[in-house]
Structure 1
């Protein structure tokens, strides 16, 4: 679970801004909160609202940026590729900062780093509770002792393991996170008693999922369709529930040559699948026309199957199969969200989605959020959205502390604030006030009389 995220001097963010999932003072909708771990409870849902170019997407990009540095790292000879805040000259020589406060496997952690395009200047990991924090490690290139690993090393009995960990720390490139070095240098296999570090890496790798408007979510349910009839039935039930007109789905075997994907890519996938030495390993490829292919290995041969929908035909018992590229954008969007919703309800997942409403009817958007909230009473997962869809801006659906606004100040810097900051009654409908600009997160449209060029053309 994400407890809090802070960002500074990154993209449209200048001074440090905090996005918090900590519950406020309100007592209504208690089922929207998780049970406390070390005194800390977390909200399961949050929606960010704001005008175009206010910074909503930049906040999500910052969250994804940190995840990418942890899991993929930076090439040794490359710069750390990002953009500082450009509308304040003081930011040019100022470091940037990102921090995550997370909850995972029964513990709370604060992990973050200070950086510029050439180096990680600081990096830290603490275990935190409501009243205390315990350092796990700290890195500071301005300190003569670059790494403080004392709290890890004291629990390791083997001198050989201690030396190995210190060697990895000392050898971490300036432009690389220590967490990435731990992940890629087989430290897990050679050093014991680093469970907290591995736990945080696991959160980035297996819990945090960031989805942008053009992304397709292809993990989860779709990959198991041909192996689990119950999952297949669940998928079909969701499609009927959302009124798509689809009566079923299936995987249709197709010839290798008919796949609308470059053959070089298919060959590379085959090579990767064979190297994993598992007949159950699957991969998906998306064509430019919304078609999903599934690839697997059987007796060293590449088997290609196309994900298809099935519709009833008047006067015919047999269902007609459709390529998903023949379905509407909205239907394809729903099909993306079904496995996402299923994974959410499995627990231990944090989904952060930019522009979830794209191609979706407002009622569907509302219902997807409401469905998750209603089914997640005893489940620890989070659904965090950035949206323009004001129909979900209602206290019938969300708590005040689940609603956040992103606005730009007069100098072009993005600022975050919560509906919790406003004196709003629990039964007040807030959508109208939002559209009227009370919460500031709407476009400031100019005076159309100043569009003199239009007056000229209309004469």
Structure 2
């Protein structure tokens, strides 16, 4: 589970910002999981702000890491695809920095990355076997060549294995990606590799024009998922009685009542609304996420979605008990603040705001004092008490 993310000099984030999944107080919701060392982590967080304030860029930072940890470039000259903050004259002279703290199988890890569009400057991984971090590996760029150093007290690798890892580590790739190329087992690094592969889902964004191949395959192969989806569609009043997959074509069953009585009709996917297709896609992802107890980001969760349905989806996720899955969403839909104390707590709410200099700041609702004295947090937000509002003239 993700504990915190720090980023600096990435897209609209010029200065360092920190997103934390640690609650600042007691949380009475099902959204908190306690780690073996006593640290509590939230399962849900939402980022709210005006258009172009940097909400998507925050989620893009996580997706960049997800892609980068898996990317195997063909040559040293392919670049890293990182995008620094460009709204200053000396933009390319500043490196981009990421820090991630997370728990894997109850053990805390600390990952650090310093990178620019050409190469990785530094990359480190630590593990907490006590109250203090212990280095797993460090990596630095020396004249365009990646130099790897593994902690011999923790990582028992032969000189030949270290050489194989070093030779395959191009200057524009992660050490975590090297593990996908070589037949070398590295303690603790392997655990993070497995977490990325199995418990970190890709960023989901925008509306869906058609169901993905993965969703159709899940519908065709998993009776359990079809039952789960049909129950959800019934509870959410979608008037969908069944979904059939025939030769990877989705057919939606609908029940109607007319002068002839009750009739069942199957209509092709093209006849379904964008909201219906987005519901099926999102619920398949959340179903997979809950099964894997994975981490996932959804950008603009309200897209093509009725507010009541969005709230229903979030409620079902938060109320899933005994699960270590985490969901981070962005939204323009400010009435979601009315759900505070009903679905999630104040610690789950974050805001983005962009200054005149183009720099995005990130701050938590929990940072504000006197919240318990407010009759309506949503009304206070609309009155500009927290900022993060569009400037409409």
Structure 2 length-normalised TM: 0.90
Q: Does 1:61 align with 2:60?
A: yes
1: CA distance, partners of 2:129 / 2:378: 36
Question: Are the counterparts in 2 of residues 123 and 138 from structure 1 also a CA contact under 8 Å?
Answer: yes
Question: Which residue of structure 1 lines up, in the alignment, with residue 174 of structure 2?
Answer: 177
Q: What's the offset of the Cα at 1:4?
A: 1.1
Q: Please state if 1:319 is matched with 2:264.
A: yes
- Residues 1:234 and 2:234 aligned together: no
CA distance in 2, matches of 1:242, 1:326: 19
Look up the SS of the partner of 2:170 in the other structure.
coil
2:94 maps to what in 1? Answer: 94
Using a 3 Å threshold, how does the CA distance of structure 1 residues 102 and 172 change in structure 2: closer, same or farther? same
Question: How far does residue 129 in structure 1 lie from its aligned partner after superposition?
Answer: 6.7
**In structure 2, what is the Cα distance between the partners aligned to 1:348 and 1:228?**
18
Residue 33 of structure 2 aligns to a residue whose secondary structure is coil
Unaligned stretches of 5+ residues in structure 2: none
Please give the TM-score of this superposition, normalised by the length of structure 1: 0.78
Distance 1:146 1:152, change over 3 A: farther
Q: Contact (CA 8 Å) 1:9, 1:97: kept in 2 or not?
A: yes
| Residue 15 of structure 1: how far off its partner (Å) | 1.2
Alignment of 1:137-152 (within 5 A): 137-141=137-141, 146-151=147-152
What is aligned with 1:345?
Answer: 290
Alignment of 1:12-91 (within 5 A): 12-24=12-24, 26-76=25-75, 77-91=77-91
Q: Report what 1:402 is aligned to.
A: 348
Query: Residue by residue, what CA displacement relative to the aligned partner does 1:27-70 show, whole Å, maximum 9, x if unpaired?
Result: 13253210223332210000000100000011111111111111
Structure 2 counterparts to residues 241-256 of structure 1, below 5 A: 241-252=235-246
Q: CA-to-partner distance for each residue in 1:317-361, whole Å, 9 max, x for gaps? A: 662111122111111111112212322332421110000100111
1:386 paired residue number = 330
**In the alignment, which residue of structure 2 is the partner of 1:224?**
218
What corresponds to 1:431 in structure 2?
A: 378
Specify whether residues 217 and 198 from structure 1 end up closer, same or farther in structure 2 by C-alpha distance, changes over 3 A only. farther
Find the aligned partners of 2:27 and 2:367 in 1 and give their Cα distance: 17
8 Å Cα contact 2:255/2:264 also seen in 1: yes
The 1:23/1:131 distance shift into structure 2, 3 A limit, reads farther
Q: 1:405-438 CA distances to partner (integer Å, 9 max, x unpaired)?
A: 0111231101110011101334742111111221
TM-aligned CA distance change 1:426 to 1:381, over 3 Å: farther
Distance 2:153 2:68 in 1: 22
Q: Deviations over 1:354-384 (max 9, x none)?
A: 0010011111111111111112x21111111
Maintained 8 Å contact 1:14/1:91: no
Deviation at 1:104, TM superposition (A): 1.7
Deviations 1:139-190 (A, max 9, x none): 122599932213477534xx4xx4123332244111111111122x233xxx
The alpha-carbon distance between structure 1 residues 32 and 129, as it changes in their structure 2 partners (threshold 3 A), is farther
Contact 1:39–1:130 (8 Å) recurs in 2? no
For 1:170 and 1:72, locate their aligned partners in 2 and report how far apart those are by CA, in whole Å: 16
Aligned CA distance change for structure 1 residues 140 and 217 (closer, same or farther; 3 Å) = farther
Aligned partner of residue 57 in structure 1, secondary structure: helix
Aligned residue for 2:368?
Answer: 422
**Distance in 1, Cα, partners of 2:218 & 2:317:** 22
Rounded to whole Å, the distance in 2 between the matches of 1:439 and 1:202 is 39
The answer to whether the 8 Å contact 1:217/1:339 transfers is: no
Root-mean-square deviation (CA), in Å?
2.4
Q: Which residue matches 1:367?
A: 312
Cα contact 2:212–2:281 (8 A) shared by 1 = yes
Q: Is the 8 A contact 1:211 1:217 kept in 2?
A: no
| Residue equivalent to 2:182 | 186
Change (3 A) 1:34 1:248: same
1:182 and 1:321 map into 2 onto residues whose CA distance is: 47
Quote the offset at 1:218 in angstroms: 4.6
Relative to structure 1, the CA distance from residue 112 to residue 222 in structure 2 (aligned partners, 3 Å threshold; closer, same or farther) is farther
Partner in structure 2 of residue 454 of structure 1: none
Check 1:91–1:226 CA distance in 2 against 1; reply closer, same or farther (3 A cut).
closer
2:199 matched residue in structure 1: 207
Between 1 and 2, higher relative CO (CA 8 Å, sep ≥ 6) is seen in: 2
CA distance in 1 between counterparts of 2:65 and 2:383 reads 35
Q: Quick check: 34-43 or 377-386, which moved more?
A: 34-43
Q: For 1:335 and 1:154, locate their aligned partners in 2 and report how far apart those are by CA, in whole Å.
A: 44
Secondary structure at the counterpart of residue 190 of structure 2: helix
